[in-house]
Amino acid sequence: MPFFVEVIISLLIVIGGLFLLIGSFGMIKLKDLLPRLHAPTKASTVGLGGILIASMLFFWIERGHFTIHELLITLFIFLTAPITANLIAKAYMLLNVDPNKDLPPSKQNEGWATFDPVGPEGYDPSEEYKEKET
């Protein structure tokens, strides 16, 4: 294996490891859940991305043919990270945020969607189920 390729792979692993460490350190350093949601994004983008690119380069040089296996993991993590962050924030708001005190008024006929599942103007989702049953 050529020397400069080894240097590049080692650098990518070291940078990825450091970013994973920083992302998890933010989890214990930050005070509240909503700032804390910000920290693991470092781990899941640069941290994991660096290590997966290092793995891709290593097996390319080792085996002699190029594969994009590892890009699948990166793509999957990039697609799912916003969904998990949104769902965790919604779960936190439902349990720990008081919509009357902590949030501004929604200026609509109905409240904020996380706290008001009934929806606009007397629309009741359970009525749809009743119609289907009969």
Partner 1 sequence: MIEYALNFGFVCVALALLMNLYRLTVGPTTADRVLAVDTMAINAIALLVLFGIGQATAMYFEGALLFAMFGFVSTVAYCKFVLRGDIIE
Residues 6 or more apart whose Cβ sits within 8 Å of residue 111:
99
- Radius of gyration of the CA atoms of the chain, in A: 23
| 80/84 Cα distance (integer angstroms) | 6
- Are the beta carbons of 68 and 56 closer than 8 angstroms? yes
- Of 2, 62, 65, 104, the one binding partner 1 (CB under 8 A) is 62
C-beta closer to partner 1: residue 87 or 123: 87
Instruction: Name the residues that contact partner 1, by CB under 8 A.
Output: 6-7, 9-11, 13-14, 16-18, 20-21, 23-25, 27-28, 33, 36-37, 40, 43-44, 47-48, 51-52, 54-55, 58-59, 62, 69-70, 72-73, 76-77, 80, 83-84, 87-92, 94-96
